Amino acid sequence: MNRRKFTIASAMMIALYAMSGCGNDSLLGPDRGRVRVILGGDASAAADLAGATAASAEAGNPHDDDDGDRPSHWFHTANVTLSSILVRNLDGVLVNLDLDLPVTVDVVKIEHGKQIELPDGVLPIGGYDQVVVVMTAVQGVTHDGTIVTLEPPGGGWTAIVPICPFAVEEGGTTIVGLDLMVRNSFGWNGNRFHFQPRFRANHCPDDEEG
């Protein structure tokens, strides 16, 4: 099967699953554990931004001076709305992480490696090895005050993030760290901005709190 067609079809199925909320109630039993998602920026990429200006100018970015391909150079704020988070268990089944969403995050603030804690969620006890993040809105304000609204694809933007396997235990809190690679998620092409979220796992989540 064509890889691109498979990826697009999989993303649409995941987005529809997340929006419908179907399947979650049948999987969640009385035994649950708390899950805390910590969203950060890509600190290593932020440290390397100064070396990427030549590529930025060649790509036709609207700012071709130093750090021209850096979102904080384009935007004063860039608000991304997270609408759903699903986690895949070790049986290969996606389970909705039950937490208070949607949440809107200004990703300019996390571009330098800062972190934001999302509201605690709950999952059935067991093991998990993948996170799926669905985003449904992106709006930025440039430094001259221009509002830039990016239209999502059908179902929203979907990012599939492989992570180190972790266990959710009853009565504990499992920490899951995700880094949004902010610089690589925004682009300028065809005289307009584009957004394609790129996440990676921050670390193996082995810290738990009672």
Q: Which two tokens stand for residue 89?
A: 């268990």
Q: What is the pLDDT of residue 111?
A: 84
pLDDT top residue among 101 and 5: 101
Q: What is the pLDDT of residue 70?
A: 64
Over residues 61-78, the pLDDT tens digits come to 444 444 555 666 789 999
What is the mean pLDDT of the segment spanning 79-104?
Answer: 96
The pTM of the full predicted model, rounded to 2 decimals, is: 0.72
Closest CA to 144 of 63, 76, 66: 76
Q: Where are the domains of the chain?
A: 3-209
Distance set, CA 143 to CA 21, 80, 106, 146 (Å): 38, 17, 14, 7
Distance set, CA 38 to CA 78, 97, 110, 138, 202 (Å): 18, 14, 11, 20, 9
Give me the residues paired with residue 123 across strands: 33
What is the mean pLDDT of the segment spanning 13-39?
Answer: 60
What percent of the chain is predicted at pLDDT more than 70? Answer: 68
What's the whole-number average pLDDT of the chain?
77
Question: Do 140 and 79 touch, CB atoms closer than 8 A?
Answer: yes
Q: What is the pLDDT of residue 183?
A: 87
What is the mean pLDDT of the segment spanning 192-206?
Answer: 81
Q: What is the pLDDT of residue 203?
A: 62
What is the mean pLDDT of the segment spanning 128-138?
Answer: 97
| CB within 8 Å of 55: residues ≥ 6 apart | 69
